[in-house]
Amino acid sequence: MLGDGFHDIPPGKVAAIVTHLEMREPAPLRPVPAPDGLELRRVRDPEPDWYRDLFTRVGALDWLWFSRLRMPQEALAEIIRDPDVEVYGLFRGDRAEGLLELDFREPGECELAFLGVTPALIGTGAGRFLMNEAITRAWARPIGRFHVHTCTLDHPGALSFYRRSGFMPVRQQVEIADDPRLTDGFPETAGPHVPIFRP
């Protein structure tokens, strides 16, 4: 357990404060029109390469999302093809520009595993549209808890967005991990808001 005060982060690592949030009943939706020219479609049995590409464009380059990119191909496929995991793409034609992933593998619960849009859609209402879909689809199942977590590596508005959507913070953790720009081939320009400390 961390005590009060400052704690050094080892070189070569990144640190984030992770906030866990939940809702125990469906929150009121914040109406927004469907994004013009975009269509939300469930992707059944998604190909890992398709998923990794979308995941990278939505979160890796700007926000250092790396968890799914570090997974072996087989482990990733096992998750995203599980019948209790729903993967959706927000498509413009044949190209997905947004990601929504709902994980129902824990009985009576749903995790909002990932929700995000590519940089071109930030500020267009597409994120709110995805959140409304997430709330509606999650609570269409017999669940008693809908939960999500975000961290300080993510978009600076993510935490307030989740709170405005009806999620309540329930706990925080500190996560320390290898900097993916030093270990996983991420470009050094990824996550420009997070400094690199070389070992």
pLDDT band at 63 (very low <50, low <70, confident <90, very high): very high
Q: How confident is the model at residue 47 (pLDDT cuts 50, 70, 90)?
A: very high
Arithmetic mean of pLDDT, 125-152: 97
Instruction: Give the Cα separation of 103 and 79 in Å (integer).
Output: 9
Question: pLDDT tier at 189 (50, 70, 90 boundaries)?
Answer: very high
Higher pLDDT, 2 or 189: 189
Angle at 172 between CA 135 and CA 116, to 5 degrees: 40
pLDDT band at 2 (very low <50, low <70, confident <90, very high): confident
Q: List pLDDT tens digits, range 77-128.
A: 999 999 999 999 999 999 999 999 999 999 999 999 999 999 999 989 999 9
What average pLDDT does range 15-41 have in this prediction? 95
Sheet holding 85-92, edge to edge: 39-42, 85-92, 95-103, 109-117, 145-151, 13-23, 168-178
pLDDT value at 1 more than 80: no
Task: Give all domains of the chain, ordered by start, each with its CATH number.
Answer: 34-146 (3.40.630.30)
- Write out the DSSP string of 39-104: EEEE-SS--HHHHHHHHIIIIIHHH---TTTSS-HHHHHHHHTSTTEEEEEEEETTEEEEEEEEE-
pLDDT (0 to 100) of residue 182: 96
Contact indicator for 148, 118 with CB cutoff of 8 Å? no
Per-residue pLDDT averaged across 152-162, rounded? 95
Q: Are strands 168-178 and 85-92 parallel, antiparallel or unpaired?
A: unpaired
Q: Once rounded to an integer, what is the mean pLDDT over residues 21-33?
A: 95
Chain mean pLDDT for the chain: 96
